[in-house]
Chain A
């Protein structure tokens, strides 16, 4: 059996092993490949830069631990940028685990900028109901949000009192891994109340969001780990996304090799027939 025939019967576990090496080796021995900045990511950065100090950004952490690897670095980078610009952050989650992950990022970054809970940022926790909840939220936050994630009445918190409806928001930044997510914010919040929406999503879902980018319904987009890495470069932050890009690059090259190999095998098999 020649090499090509052996390769056509390649055990999946060999492929898995090669992928594992491609991920682990660059993490142990970083390469430091340059990261270019793409327009959709720059638009998010520019939008946040354009907000006046004191503006309120609603950060919706609509993801769970499964998507944490791609979206959590983006969460940290966005929070850091907002705090640097003295913007106020109103965190909520349309997914159960999302607000806890948002909390993790806030507790890590807020002390560095001397930001106080209740005044500079607030977390109202998980809000079930998806689209149905968003429709009510835009009109009157008070109808839906009575307490924060710790059970403190929202009226006792300065930032909680400041946000009465969508009109008080400067921007909605949604970090979304699926449904409910970016699409819901666009349909039920932006279209109804006109609040600008920026998004961050997993690499798989990013291509779909380009339709909303093109129409202007989405201001900007961070797509996958690459988007998060670009944002870290823009805010001058060395985070997990930038570190992970080396591994992602090598894996992509490996996948390209697999595709080429697969097609060489196909041509060989066609030639034999």
Chain B
């Protein structure tokens, strides 16, 4: 079916077509004119012989209109009226135009391919790990120091403070942090060390309570679990940091673990923790806060190391396989970047345009 129709009207070229990559609820009308009009009126009707209703008044400088009030597979007819003081020009009737539902947004095809490539890389290495292939993962000092920090707290008879960031469980860093919390809780439960987990969000508190409780049960220490040690403080960023600082200064935990999403409060937490003499391990994917943690903490997980932590700590082949797959994906993207840089240098826009993701 011919969906694109255009007419010439007294110097106005009008084009109408089904808006691409949508759910069939929109028709695009574009026009341009050699003469200047003060405004345009777009009129729509269901039948060329019946009354047309005005659906939009466009500025004289506008050249495009999206009629988003259409039903898929229904015929529509349009007239454009160019108005200029006392002069009004009407176009011929344009139509019938039908909108259709597209089943795949072709504009995101490049994104879909990139995600698919990454997924296959990860799944490839997971399958390889399942079949018993040996995988090498480099040492991450901050994660190796976790056990040391918990041991130090146990020897000193003091608590471990775990701060899972200030965002909610829809934040991937909080989920990564919760994965590490499970391992930390297992260790502290088995040693009988107190674990404080103040949270800034109530959903995060619920998740943390569940995780710590199950970790305690897993190591055979369900009695160790105290729900009052995992508490919600406040959603307010600086109210939360005041409360955590208070815990640090009053209870003097021997090990402070900051793992998750942090903003401006990162330095306040780290400096206060440093002043109490605690060993501090931090990890965040917030690149703005990394310098503060690196400066003020003993060990820091940088960016993606936080996401890799759970796999690294478990040492399960399947999880390690996903890390290798991620690295393969990274290698592929580096190659794409290099080709992209070269293509820009030699002025070859075809390659660059393959990665455009902004809707026109």
The chain A residue sitting closest to B111, CB to CB, is A191
A191 to B105, CA, bound (A): 14
Q: B238 near A66 (CB under 8 angstroms)?
A: yes
Give Cα A41–Cα B287 distance, bound, in whole angstroms.
Answer: 23
Tell me if B288 and A207 are in contact (CB < 8 A). Answer: yes
| Residue numbers in B under 8 Å from A192 (CB-CB) | 359
Tally of B interface residues using CB under 8 Å: 20
Q: Judge whether A204 is part of the interface by a CB distance below 8 angstroms.
A: yes
Within 8 A of A (CB), among B273-295: 275, 287-289
A179 and B171 within 8 A (CB): yes
Question: Which residue of A is nearest B263, CB measured?
Answer: A178
- Among A177, A205, A207, A208, max chain B CB count under 10 A is at A205
B263 with A194: CB separation less than 8 A: no
- Contact yes or no, A66 B264, CB < 8 A: yes
A108-124 CB mask vs B (1 if < 8 Å, else 0) is 00000000000000000
Most A CB within 10 A of own CB, among B66, B68, B261? B68
> Closest chain A residue to B289 by CB distance?
A204
* Cβ of A194 to closest chain B Cβ, rounded Å: 5
Which one of B66, B263, B359 lies within 8 Å of A179 (CB-CB)?
B263
Whether B359 lies near A64 (C-beta < 8 A) is: no
A193 to B287, CA, bound (A): 27
Q: Which of B206-260 contact A (CB under 8 A)?
A: 235-238
Bound together, the chains give a CA A217 to CA B167 distance in angstroms of 25
- Contact: B287 with A194, CB < 8 Å? no
Does B1 have its Cβ within 8 Å of any Cβ on chain A? Answer: no
Q: Which residue of A lies closest to B239 (CB)?
A: A66
Residue of A nearest to B266 (CB): A204
Q: Is B358 touching A191 in the complex (CB atoms < 8 A)?
A: yes
CA distance A5 to B251 in the complex (A): 32
Output the residue of B170, B237, B261 with the most chain A CB within 10 A. B237
| Chain A residues with CB below 8 A from B141, complex form | none
Q: Are A177 and B66 in contact (CB under 8 A)?
A: no
Q: Is B357 an interface residue (CB 8 A)?
A: yes
CA distance A165 to B66 in the complex (A): 11
**Which residues of A in the span 165-218 have a Cβ within 8 Å of any Cβ on B?**
165, 167, 177-179, 190-194, 202, 204-205, 207-208, 217
**B132 at the A interface (CB under 8 A):** no
Residue A67 at the B interface, CB < 8 A?
yes
Contact A177 B68 (CB under 8 A): no
User: Across the interface, do A64 and B171 meet the contact criterion of CB distance under 8 Å?
Assistant: no
Within the complex, the shortest CB–CB distance from B18 to chain A, in Å, comes to 18
Q: Which residues of A contact B288 (CB under 8 A)?
A: 204-205, 207-208
Indicate if the CB atoms of B275 and A12 lie closer than 8 Å. yes
B325-360 vs A, CB cutoff 8 Å, 1 = contact: the mask equals: 000000000000000000000000000000001111
Chain A residues whose C-beta falls within 8 Å of the C-beta of B235 in the assembled complex: 96
Q: Residues of B contacting A202 with CB < 8 Å? A: 264
On chain A, the residues within 8 Å of B261 by CB distance are 179
On chain A, the residues within 8 Å of B66 by CB distance are 167
**Least Cβ distance of A71 to chain B in Å?**
12
Assembly CA distance A155 to B60 (angstroms): 27
Interface string of B164-187 (1 = CB under 8 A from A): 000100110000000000000000
B360–A194 contact, CB under 8 A? yes
Which residues of A lie under 8 Å from residue B171 when comparing CB positions? 179
Question: B275 touching A67 by the CB < 8 A rule?
Answer: no
How far does the Cβ of A192 sit from chain B's closest Cβ, in whole Å? 6
| Closest chain B CB from A200 CB (angstroms) | 15
Instruction: Give the chain A neighbours of B357 by CB distance below 8 A.
Output: 191
Chain B residue contacts of A66, Cβ below 8 A: 237-238, 264
Nearest neighbor of B265 in chain A, beta-carbon distance: A66
The residue that A204 contacts in the complex, of B264, B275, B360, with Cβ under 8 A, is: B264
- Bound together, the chains give a CA A64 to CA B166 distance in angstroms of 14
CA distance A96 to B234 in the complex (A): 13
A179 neighbours in B (Cβ, 8 Å): 167, 171, 261, 263
Are the CB atoms of A191 and B359 closer together than 8 Å?
yes
Give bound CA distance, A217 to B289, whole Å: 23
A64 in contact with B236 (CB, 8 Å) = yes
CA distance A202 to B287 in the complex (A): 14
Q: Least Cβ distance of B69 to chain A in Å?
A: 10
Residues of the B chain whose Cβ atoms lie less than 8 Å from the Cβ of A207: 288
Name the interface residues of B60-88: CB closer than 8 Å to any CB of A: 66, 68
**With A204-B288, A208-B287, A208-B288 in contact, do A177 and B263 touch (Cβ < 8 Å)?**
yes
- Interface hits, A230-250 → B, CB 8 Å: none
Distance of A152 Cα from B161 Cα, bound (Å): 46
Q: Which residues of B contact A130 (CB under 8 A)?
A: 170
Closest to A179 in B: B167
* B contact residues around A217 at 8 Å (CB): 358
CA distance A67 to B227 in the complex (A): 33
List residues of chain B with CB within 8 A of the CB of A64. 236-237
Q: Report which B residues bind A (CB closer than 8 A).
A: 66, 68, 167, 170-171, 235-238, 261, 263-264, 275, 287-289, 357-360
Of the A-B pairs whose beta carbons lie under 8 Å apart in the complex, a sample of 14, sorted by A's number, is A64-B237, A66-B237, A130-B170, A167-B66, A177-B263, A178-B263, A179-B167, A190-B358, A191-B357, A192-B359, A194-B358, A202-B264, A204-B288, A205-B288
A-B CB proximity, top 8 nearest: A178-B263, A66-B238, A208-B288, A204-B288, A205-B288, A194-B359, A66-B237, A191-B358
Known: A177-B264, A194-B359. 16 other contacts (CB 8 A): A64-B237, A66-B264, A67-B264, A130-B170, A165-B68, A177-B263, A178-B264, A179-B167, A191-B357, A191-B358, A204-B263, A204-B264, A204-B288, A205-B263, A208-B287, A208-B288
Interface residues of A (CB under 8 A from B): 12, 64, 66-67, 96, 130, 165, 167, 177-179, 190-194, 202, 204-205, 207-208, 217
